[in-house]
Amino acid sequence: NAGVTQTPKFRILKIGQSMTLQCTQDMNHNYMYWYRQDPGMGLKLIYYSVGAGITDKGEVPNGYNVSRSTTEDFPLRLELAAPSQTSVYFCASSLREGGEQFFGPGTRLTVL
């Protein structure tokens, strides 16, 4: 099992550009999550999903969108990138509600 995979590993965007961060898991987990982590800070939940077709906002959803058309994939869309979105983005998945989460390797995004 590859676990949770994320692409790309690194990306530099210009202000106003858009991009999609990809996340795929092969553990057949229903629950998937997107976090951002700023330097020296904890993890902040952006969006989460409890299954295909169901998504909900987390703590910091503004400027982001998600979709969940399959169990495996949970892409995060950034529209009109802003410098405040410079961060490291982690995708995670979980077998059960409130259970242990397994993280992908992260995407380091810089917006200039």
Partner 1 sequence: QKEVEQNSGPLSVPEGAIASLNCTYSDRGSQSFFWYRQYSGKSPELIMFIYSNGDKEDGRFTAQLNKASQYVSLLIRDSQPSDSATYLCAVSGGSSNTGKLIFGQGTTLQVKP
φ, ψ (nearest 5 deg) of residue 84? -65, -10
If the CB atoms of residues 14 and 100 are measured against partner 1, the closer one turns out to be 100
If the CB atoms of residues 51 and 83 are measured against partner 1, the closer one turns out to be 51
Nearest approach, Cβ of residue 86 and partner 1 (Å): 16
3-state helix, strand, coil in the chain (%, to 5): 5, 50, 45
Nearest approach, Cβ of residue 96 and partner 1 (Å): 9
Contact 95, 30 (CB under 8 A): yes
CA-CA-CA-CA torsion sign (58, 61, 64, 66):
positive
If the CB atoms of residues 45 and 60 are measured against partner 1, the closer one turns out to be 45
DSSP codes joined into one string, 63-87 = TEEE--SSSSB--EEE-S--GGG-E
Nearest approach, Cβ of residue 33 and partner 1 (Å): 8
Residues that bind partner 1 (CB under 8 A): 31, 33, 41-43, 45, 48, 50, 58, 90, 97-106
Nearest approach, Cβ of residue 16 and partner 1 (Å): 28
If the CB atoms of residues 82 and 103 are measured against partner 1, the closer one turns out to be 103
Q: Are strands 64-66 and 19-25 parallel, antiparallel or unpaired?
A: unpaired
